[in-house]
Amino acid sequence: MFDVNSKDEPDLRTESECFPDIDPGLEVAGDRVLVQLRREKTTSKGGIILVDETRQTLKFNETVAKVVQLGPLAYKNLDADLTDWPEGPWCKVGDLVRTIKYGGDRFVVDAGDEGAAVVFITLQAREIISRIKSFEAAQKMKSFVD
């Protein structure tokens, strides 16, 4: 079985394998941000098929995501005149980000291929906690930190 406490190898999948181009079937409203979580691995680096329990742990503990949509009020001053936040938006569509582990509205979309289902989360704009500098940096990140 996969040991989450071990020194995991980098995720060697391509960006399109981690974040397949899938229509989530909705548009976010208000100050929300829609992100697509990195698709969980189905096999280890050595080709061993991961058991369902391990895959479920990876899927729902994932915090690396790709921004899919920004709501019309994301990164606006909601208490005042709807001007932009002084520091500007924390992210834009296409950015790789880290999200909070718990929270948001998670839903699953079947990709219609041989791979795992794709998980999306609708979050409040402030729940994007950091922007990842590159896909290569994201490849080195575990799905969650112990």
Return the CATH number of the domain spanning residue range 25-139: 2.30.33.40
Rounded Cα distance, 85 and 99, in Å: 19
Whole-number pLDDT of residue 8: 57
Whole-number pLDDT of residue 114: 77
How many H-runs (helices) and E-runs (strands) does the chain carry? 3, 6
CA 36, chain centre distance (Å): 4
Q: Give the other-Cβ count within 10 Å of 86's Cβ.
A: 6
DSSP summary character for residue 101: S
Whole-number pLDDT of residue 109: 93
The low-confidence residues of the chain, meaning pLDDT below 70, are 1-9, 42-61, 143-146
**Strand 64-70 relative to strand 32-37, pairing:** antiparallel
Whole-number pLDDT of residue 116: 79
pTM (2 decimals)?
0.81
Whole-number pLDDT of residue 145: 47
Q: Give the other-Cβ count within 10 Å of 125's Cβ.
A: 21
